[in-house]
Amino acid sequence: MKTELSPRARTMIYGTMCVLLIPFVFPTWWMVTSSFKPVSEIFAFPPQLIPRSWDFTTYGQVFALQPFAKQYWNSAYIAAIVTVGTMGISSMAGYAFARIRFPFSNAIFMVVLLGLLIPSEVTIVPLFQLFLKLGMVNTHWPLILVPIFGAPSVFATFVMRQFFISLPAELEEAARVDGLSRFRIFTKIALPLARPALASVAIFTFLHSWNLYLEPIVFLSSADRFTLPQALTQFTDAYGGPMWNIQLAAATLTALPVLIVFIIAQKHFVEGLAHTGLKG
């Protein structure tokens, strides 16, 4: 039975929620507003929540000091390839682990999951050696291949497997009677129904690739091949000190597509994670 909240209780709940919101909203607010402030105003006391004077030239300087458009493109296309690749591999692997009976499938899945327990800092040196021998250092290949076959893909496989486990077996049996092969059942029945899970995998993977920091600084050395998180560190003055307002303008531009994608797709994201039994 639903009970109507009293105005007082409602005020208290919303008040608490507003207070809890502050640590999440304030950094974003500070980043966006500070990108329009002169440096002196960023460190003014008391802090200015809204800039006294709006300085739009910082955004121009972002593109003047670095090949920022190129770096933006680098991040975008790498994230796109990683997202599509991970969706493809994780959906097929997840389906196989969930629906195809083969010897030791559970044990193999456990071994795959163990990949999540190994921090990327542990594997980065051997990976660097490997890609050095393959002649792929200072290319984007490591940033594409490592996530597609690494931890993000393992997590995505887990998400997809949990979704496919919940898919009624009768749907597949009906499709078998209708004349579909295993692969067609996957593409025509299972995959279209897995849209919520695929959406959450896509968002998660895109975010992971977009925010990747350690791998780019290890594998890339030319500015025109940098990705955005790495590029942000390059906005420094002659003494190596950060150019705060320009860096915050670049950070705002970096965060913008992620925020937009998440706001549009958050319903699917939550739905997809709900299917996995994860709380997200």
Partner 1 sequence: MAEVTLTNIRKSYGNVDVIHGVDLDIEDGQFVVLVGPSGCGKSTLLRMVAGLETISSGEISIGRRVVNNLDPKDRDIAMVFQNYALYPHMTVATNMGFSLEHRGASKSGIAERVNWAAGILGLTPLLDRYPRQLSGGQRQRVAMGRAIVRSPQVFLFDEPLSNLDAKLRVVMRGEIKALHDKLKTTMIYVTHDQVEAMTMADKIVVLNGGKIEQSGTPLELYDHPANKFVAGFIGSPSMNFVSGKVQADGLVASGVTIPLPDRAQKYVGKDVTIGIRPEHLLVKDKGLAAQVLLVEPMGHETQITVQLGEASITGLFRERLSLMAGSGVEIGFHTRSIHLFSAQDGARLD
Q: Which residues make up the interface to partner 1 (CB under 8 A)?
A: 168, 170-171, 173-180, 184, 189, 192-193
Q: Measured from the CB of residue 166, what is the shortest distance to partner 1 in angstroms?
A: 13
For 277, the token pair is 């039994």
Answer for the pair 116, 189: CB distance below 8 angstroms, yes or no: no
Choose between 146 and 199: whose C-beta lies nearer to partner 1: 199
For residue 48, CA distances in Å to 26, 30, 35, 36 come to: 12, 9, 12, 12
> In the complex, what is the shortest distance from the CB of residue 91 to partner 1, in angstroms, rounded to a whole number?
15
Residues sharing a CB contact under 8 Å with residue 143, sequence separation 6 or more, in sequence order: 78, 82, 209, 212, 215, 216, 219, 220, 227
* DSSP 8-state assignment for residue 4: P
Strand partners, 132: none
The least distance separating partner 1 from the CB of residue 193, rounded to whole angstroms, comes to 6
Q: Is the Cβ of residue 143 or residue 194 nearer to partner 1 in the bound state?
A: 194
Residue closer to partner 1 by CB (options 132, 171) is 171
- Which one, 7 or 168, has the nearer CB to partner 1? 168
Q: Is 79 exposed, middle or buried (0-12, 13-18, 19+ CB in 10 A)?
A: buried
Per the DSSP assignment, residues forming a β-bridge with 236 are: 242
- Least gap, CB of 37 to partner 1 (angstroms): 50
Phi, psi of 17 (to 5 degrees): -60, -40
Which lies closer to partner 1 via its Cβ, residue 177 or residue 238?
Answer: 177
Closest approach of partner 1 to the CB of residue 177, in Å: 5
